[in-house]
Chain A
């Protein structure tokens, strides 16, 4: 079983749609959670950290469910520029400083 699992997609949605991505992780000791965005042939860029209480940044909302070891990202009012791969990321768990574990990524394609 992969340590971080995501549906690779692709998700093809029209502009203005709401889309949700989900991710599960296997290490219950993980302490930090993130969503990164990666454009084709570019480096991953931090989109947002994910907190237990849930957090929102403009059109993006991230939520964490520690009991189910589940992370989600909701994008409202999709823009063409949101087309990218979204990477779910967790840290390596207690005692494993600095190791970020990435999911395979979910590809989003927003169409006009």
Chain B
């Protein structure tokens, strides 16, 4: 079946550096994508979303890029802080399902 996945399970960055978390999706019919942040033992929190008619969207310290040609989604976090340590999930919506399809997640580790 179609799925959403991530290239790397763990990403370690120095505090203050920029982080880039990647996501590949295979359902070309998906028209809405979300990035969630999940801290240990908590529910996922919305970070930023993007629709398929856009290729870039910026929030506070975060930018999501969508490349529909290669079905790739990325989350860029500027000036990474210790509080950014979490698991980051991309999720897609579309293709007939009425729930989001989540990737396995990338664990972002911030080195002091």
Q: Do A and B bind each other?
A: no
Could you list which residues of chain B lie within 8 angstroms of chain A, going by C-beta atoms? none
